[in-house]
Amino acid sequence: MIKEIVEREQKYVLTQPHETATSEVCVLKEVFVRNGSSAKIQCGAECNKDETACVLFPWQQGGRSHHSAITASIIGRYAVFIIQRRLDGSVNFRRNWREYEDGFGTFDSEFWIGNKNLHYLTSDGLTYLRVEMMMQTCEWRYADYGQFIVKSATDKYRLFVANYSGNAGDSFYYHNNAQFSTYDYDHDTSYSNCADRCKGGWWYTKCHLVNLNGEYANTNFLEGINWHAMTGFTYSLKEVRMMLRRP
């Protein structure tokens, strides 16, 4: 039924499978369901790899609600939702609070899904996070977290992240229980404005061990796309994608 709704409302396009740090992934490039309330399914529902329409999920941008699979991939039998991507520096991630709330960028290049959507997708505490990162040598590393929760706007999108596994090293632990900060809305625990100093919006503390929304290709101290356990503070990652899935 969901597939029929998608085909009736608007076409979808699949890219060719390609290698990632996990497995073969088919990335869904375009799906919008304008009257999709009846097509709504649980985020990350288990599905057949060939049933591409099963990865529809609700999100908001610019005050409008959509049902979309633009950011969705299928890995094995699970729908995995890409919530952030860095790959070429084409999008400026030094944005204000409102822009980080609503999301920005383009789904076929670099983007941030939006803090409102992150809260919506993770608020029941049943969401896993995977971060896949490419070094400048084109070597992929990954970090999995069995818990990833983003609280509401009233708590400044506070982050809870725990239960690490992977080969990238656990740097995200440092940001657990941190509120989100942007250059114009500072909630870090530093005497300085970390978001302004580190060139992005993030769950800064004093200031970071992870800075995935930092400035692309910037190798200045604290300012680039850092994952400290791998990169330190003066090496900027070549590509990043953050993904959610359900157990």
Residue 16 has pLDDT above 70, yes or no: no
Q: Which residue has the higher pLDDT, 245 or 232?
A: 232
Q: What is the mean pLDDT of residues 71-78?
A: 52
When divided into structural domains, the chain yields a total of: 1
What digits encode the pLDDT tens for the residues 143-174?
Answer: 999 999 999 999 999 999 999 999 999 999 99
Max Cα separation, the chain?
A: 55
Of the candidates 153, 125, 38, the one whose C-alpha atom is nearest the C-alpha of residue 56 is 38
Residue 8 has pLDDT above 90, yes or no: no
Enter the tokens of residue 244: 């959610």
Return the SS3 of 9: helix
Handedness of CA 11, 17, 20, 24 (dihedral sign): positive
Q: Which residue has the higher pLDDT, 7 or 59?
A: 59
Residue 62 has pLDDT above 60, yes or no: no
Q: What is the pTM of this model?
A: 0.75
Paired residues of 176 in beta bridges: none
Amino acid at 124: D
* Cis status, amide bond into 207, omega within 30 of 0: yes
Range of the domain at 199: 2-245
Average pLDDT, the chain: 76
pLDDT grade for 73, boundaries at 50, 70 and 90: low
Enter the tokens of residue 51: 């049933």
* R_g (Cα) of the chain, nearest Å: 17
Output the domain CATH number for residue 85: 3.90.215.10
Q: What is the pLDDT of residue 234?
A: 96
Q: What is the pLDDT of residue 27?
A: 33
Q: Which residue has the higher pLDDT, 92 or 77?
A: 92
